[in-house]
Amino acid sequence: MKENKKFTIQNSPFIVPTDDGKIIKEHFGLATNGNSDISIAHMVAPAGWSEPFQTPDFDEYTFVIKGKKQFIIDGETIVLKAGESIKVKKNTRLQYSNPFTEPCEYIAICMPAFSVDSVNREDK
């Protein structure tokens, strides 16, 4: 990371360890630079990937770069494809997944920043 008084260039994001094949590179946020206001991560979810339901304590914006990503939000299934984006408001119960045959690449922005304690994942 290169910083000066006016800008910060992130060229070495924090690679979040996962056990489900998902690649998470946090560019700004709690793990990278201690910023609790916002987190910005570049992610690649493999085909067939899913997370447990969760009710985050943050707003999450998702922009799909390649592939498709599925959201189940309060019982409604939404599928975003490349070029589409969504904002999910905090305290909304949802599940993220990629039940498709191709990986999904996307950017996620969380406000305030993502943390394991504030995502509120349900047991699988």
Q: Give me the number of domains the chain comprises.
A: 1
Question: Tens digits of per-residue pLDDT, 47-93?
Answer: 999 999 999 999 999 999 999 999 999 999 999 999 999 999 999 99
What's the predicted TM-score (pTM) here?
0.94
Domain hosting residue 88, numbered range: 20-119
How many secondary structure helices (H) and strands (E) does the chain include? Answer: 2, 12
Cis bond before residue 13 (omega within 30° of 0):
no
- The answer to the question of residue 1 being in a domain is no
pLDDT band at 123 (very low <50, low <70, confident <90, very high): confident
- The answer to the question of residue 4 being in a domain is no
